[in-house]
A and B are shown apart, each in its own frame.
With several copies, the nearest count.
Chain A
């Protein structure tokens, strides 16, 4: 991965999060405490604040910086989780040297594993992992099958969206919504939604860059 692409992705994500402000905000108001959008916005801004600084770094280093920056600015539940993702992703980029698709799949999976570990959670608990785990499984599968990136992207986007929707009918067992019991049913998880937006944004960026 290129640092330039990382910065472009950060800018695109910042934009996409802002565009979806009201949806993200109201989802967290419904079954959380209403700050998920603000937390993400703060995180995105802080990453763009260090744009210049990371633009001269390797992709691994840039990702690690982003992780640490998120860790010290986002707060809440999503802060340490997203930070863990980027730190682990960076670590995996450092430790492996595979072809682009397999490398992405491996690093993404490391990131998701870090979230699982930090959040002590898995699928079916009405969290961002209901998007992230299916995406990482699919990525692995497609990488094993040696699929073309352009073929992969629409499938990823589809699975991410399915993941979001799957949270609607779940009772939450992790995060703030877990306190709601049955009352959480019928509401989509805000973290799942924001992750899906971020994934879709990066997918579209890759498509447009091709």
Chain B
């Protein structure tokens, strides 16, 4: 394991300190318990709080700021945060309109946020993101995992909350965005949880893992490595088939947000190549990509690979996607 590390036990705190000091104009760090919050507390809006295991940076700390999250609760690497973090964060950022949790659908995250929700004195609601189509919903009862679509949910709901909408409306929009998102990831290499010190899984030079999770969990299946167009076609088709399975009708000329997300080690050069391949394919299916995001937005430590997320836009989602945002890792209009 070759990483920039002093002491494995201190990675998270040192990294959080670096994050907070690099972005001290935007955020503040609380250490006991750990959370990142806006340095300027927002007033009279639904407080958006997300969180999850670390190792997916910039998710979620990088999305704290105007137009997006009010606070983010980082767990240990690949381990969900604990309820005290969410409760304490809520006490700091709640401003009278309640708390909305945005939680990726993993048993650990769900339970920890659930306990926080039960234990906190504020009106609150939860959006569970579950955009990963690699997990077949009907067969396995925990349901799909939440992956890169979460970034879109956080941005869109963040915008609505900033406009002063109430808890129910924010929750409703978030659920809608989540419903209209589908994602799938492919890993070319594994990743190393620092405390474990060894690769989470083994993968050969001629293999890829289709449907990998963002913790390096095994996915749909191990497949032979092949050319990008063929990998991308399988990914895009998996997402479209899933929309069909979930009875989400896609009409010709529907507007799409296409997110090509790198897990870390895949160069931007390749991410744009993937984008090109996906955009061309969607065009042949008469879908119009009108918004896009290409880069490392939901990572898996040092894994090589990428995920594709499609979000079917409507006027409300598009407007809230376009509105100004000012966070460490997503910024426009400000």
In the complex, chain A residues 116-148 whose Cβ is within 8 Å of any chain B Cβ:
118-119
CA A35 to CA B75, docked complex, whole Å: 12
**Is chain A's interface secondary structure helix, strand, loop, or mixed overall?**
helix
Proximity string of chain A (178-196) to chain B, C-beta cutoff 8 Å, 1 when within and 0 when not: 1111010000000000000
Distance to closest chain B CB from A46 (angstroms): 11
Distance to closest chain A CB from B87 (angstroms): 10
Q: Would you call B80 and A181 a contact (CB within 8 A)?
A: no
Across the interface, which residues of A come within 8 angstroms of B324, CB to CB?
none
Which of A33, A80, A119 is within 8 Å of B216, CB to CB?
A33
Across the interface, which residues of B come within 8 angstroms of A173, CB to CB?
140-142
Q: Which residue of B lies closest to A118 (CB)?
A: B111
Q: Would you call A29 and B33 a contact (CB within 8 A)?
A: no
Q: A176-B106, A176-B217 are in contact. Are A80 and B78 (CB under 8 A)?
A: no
**Is chain B's interface secondary structure helix, strand, loop, or mixed overall?**
loop
Q: Would you call A179 and B217 a contact (CB within 8 A)?
A: yes
CB of A149 closer than 8 Å to a CB of B = no
Distance to closest chain B CB from A40 (angstroms): 11
Distance to closest chain A CB from B71 (angstroms): 17
Q: Would you call A81 and B215 a contact (CB within 8 A)?
A: no
Q: Would you call B76 and A35 a contact (CB within 8 A)?
A: yes
In the complex, chain B residues 126-145 whose Cβ is within 8 Å of any chain A Cβ:
134-136, 139-142, 145
Q: Would you call B82 and A74 a contact (CB within 8 A)?
A: yes
Across the interface, which residues of B come within 8 angstroms of A42, CB to CB?
76
Q: Would you call B107 and A174 a contact (CB within 8 A)?
A: yes
Across the interface, which residues of B come within 8 angstroms of A119, CB to CB?
107, 111
CB of A55 closer than 8 Å to a CB of B = no
Q: A71-B82, A75-B81 are in contact. Are A179 and B145 (CB under 8 A)?
A: yes
Q: Would you call A77 and B108 a contact (CB within 8 A)?
A: yes
CB of B193 closer than 8 Å to a CB of A = yes
Across the interface, which residues of A come within 8 angstroms of B196, CB to CB?
25, 29, 34-35, 38
Q: Which residue of B lies closest to A41 (CB)?
A: B195
CB of B79 closer than 8 Å to a CB of A = yes
Distance to closest chain B CB from A98 (angstroms): 29
Proximity string of chain A (64-92) to chain B, C-beta cutoff 8 Å, 1 when within and 0 when not: 00000001111111111101000000000
Across the interface, which residues of A come within 8 angstroms of B305, CB to CB?
none
Across the interface, which residues of B come within 8 angstroms of A172, CB to CB?
140
CB of B218 closer than 8 Å to a CB of A = yes
Which of B108, B114, B134, B195 is within 8 Å of A79, CB to CB?
B108
Q: Would you call B82 and A72 a contact (CB within 8 A)?
A: yes
CB of A163 closer than 8 Å to a CB of B = no
Distance to closest chain B CB from A139 (angstroms): 25
Distance to closest chain A CB from B109 (angstroms): 9
Distance to closest chain A CB from B116 (angstroms): 10
Which of B111, B135, B200, B215 is within 8 Å of A77, CB to CB?
B111
Q: A72-B33, A79-B112, A178-B140 are in contact. Are A34 and B78 (CB under 8 A)?
A: yes
CA A41 to CA B89, docked complex, whole Å: 26
Which of A33, A39, A118, A174 is within 8 Å of B142, CB to CB?
A174
Q: Would you call A180 and B141 a contact (CB within 8 A)?
A: no
Q: Would you call A33 and B215 a contact (CB within 8 A)?
A: yes
Across the interface, which residues of A come within 8 angstroms of B75, CB to CB?
75-76
Across the interface, which residues of A come within 8 angstroms of B108, CB to CB?
75-80, 176
Proximity string of chain B (75-118) to chain A, C-beta cutoff 8 Å, 1 when within and 0 when not: 11111111110000000000000000000001110011011000
Q: Would you call A33 and B193 a contact (CB within 8 A)?
A: yes
Q: A33-B200, A34-B78, A72-B82 are in contact. Are A80 and B139 (CB under 8 A)?
A: no
Across the interface, which residues of B come within 8 angstroms of A35, CB to CB?
76-79, 193, 195-196
Distance to closest chain A CB from B13 (angstroms): 14
CA A119 to CA B108, docked complex, whole Å: 9
Across the interface, which residues of B come within 8 angstroms of A29, CB to CB?
196, 200-201
Q: Would you call A38 and B76 a contact (CB within 8 A)?
A: yes
Distance to closest chain B CB from A8 (angstroms): 26
Q: Would you call B193 and A80 a contact (CB within 8 A)?
A: no
Q: Which residue of A lies closest to B143 (CB)?
A: A178
CA A35 to CA B301, docked complex, whole Å: 14
Proximity string of chain B (2-40) to chain A, C-beta cutoff 8 Å, 1 when within and 0 when not: 000000000000000000000000000000010000000
A/B interface sample: 7 pairs, CB < 8 A: A25-B196, A31-B218, A33-B78, A34-B200, A71-B84, A77-B108, A172-B140
* Further contacts, 7 of them, CB under 8 A, given A73-B82, A74-B82, A77-B106: A33-B213, A38-B196, A75-B80, A175-B107, A176-B215, A179-B142, A180-B217
Q: Which A-B residue pairs are the 9 nearest by beta carbons?
A: A77-B108, A33-B215, A80-B111, A76-B108, A72-B84, A178-B142, A77-B107, A178-B140, A75-B79
